[in-house]
Amino acid sequence: MMKNSAKSLLEFTVGLGLSTLILTYIVSTTSGRVAAFIPIISEMPFNEPESTIFGTGLGISIFSFLILAQVFHRIFEPLAKKIGNEYDHLNDIVRILATIGAICGVITVNFHWNLYPMLHGITAFILFTSFLIWGTFAYILLEKSGKKNNIRKYAVYSGWIFYFLMIVFSVMDNLDLMQKEDDFFHRMDNPPTIDTERSLYLNLTAFCEWAMVFSFYTNALTYRKELKGIRI
């Protein structure tokens, strides 16, 4: 393993992120504190030890991507200048977006939904949106540079599809709740628990969120070739 290898950091980032999500799921569901099918990712870390596992593991994983975003900016710079059409400026903008998104991500995974609903919701939205924009820009830039990758293409497309479906099903879940609670934001202030009656819309929201997140990690792994031999 090369010292300060960007490729190794990418693999560490993905491996830690996935293992943290899986471990948090196992601990929270087998303890009987979280519904096994299908929890919103953010409802899993409401108790210990899953709260510490979730916040520490994902916090380190997302911060590692923040570092990688700077490396990718460096790699993309000559490609963007060669293509022209303002791609060099877009590379700068996307770097800033990815950095802001990563910072919001670290906040998201450590300020949990049950205690900080507004802060958690806003930072999670910025995290997901900025990572999707970064992934789309990286995919287009590399495609235009002759570096095609079908897995990357499908991961980006599916990420956006599940992102929008997650929003749609979340809105429908909230509209459904309005009939009982007369408050569109009832779910935000009252996250689901093990005792919550889980509607179809809530389960579909959760499924789309998990699928979107896994598309992020799948997309990330397609850049191993671009990072080969690159130092941080």
Give per-residue pLDDT as tens, 43-54: 999 999 999 999
Note the pLDDT tens digit of each residue in 161-217: 999 999 999 999 999 988 887 788 889 999 999 988 899 999 999 999 999 999 999
Closest CA to 133 of 176, 99, 166: 99
DSSP 200-223: HHHHHHHHHHHHHHHHHHHHHHTT
> Residue 220 — very low, low, confident or very high, per pLDDT cuts 50/70/90?
very high
Residue 181 located in a structural domain: yes
> Residue 10 — very low, low, confident or very high, per pLDDT cuts 50/70/90?
very high
Give ∠ CA 59-60-63 in degrees, rounded to 5: 85
Q: Is a pLDDT exceeding 80 seen at residue 147?
A: yes
Note the pLDDT tens digit of each residue in 96-118: 999 999 999 999 999 999 999 99
Q: Is a pLDDT exceeding 70 seen at residue 1?
A: no
Measured CA to CA, the distance from residue 141 to residue 112 in angstroms comes to 35
Residue 172 located in a structural domain: yes
Residue 232 located in a structural domain: no
Q: Is a pLDDT exceeding 90 seen at residue 32?
A: yes
Note the pLDDT tens digit of each residue in 77-92: 999 999 988 999 999 9
Cis peptide before 117 (omega within 30 of 0): no
Arithmetic mean of pLDDT, 134-161? 97
**pLDDT-above-70 percentage for the chain:** 99
What pLDDT is stored for residue 2 in this prediction? Answer: 52
Q: Which amino acid is at 209?
A: E
Residue 1 located in a structural domain: no
Residue 200 CB-density burial (10 A; 0-12 exposed, 13-18 middle, 19+ buried): exposed
For the entire predicted model, the pTM comes to 0.94
Residue 203 located in a structural domain: yes
Domain count, the chain: 1
Cis peptide before 167 (omega within 30 of 0): no
What pLDDT is stored for residue 18 in this prediction? Answer: 98
Query: Which residues span the domain enclosing 47?
Result: 6-227
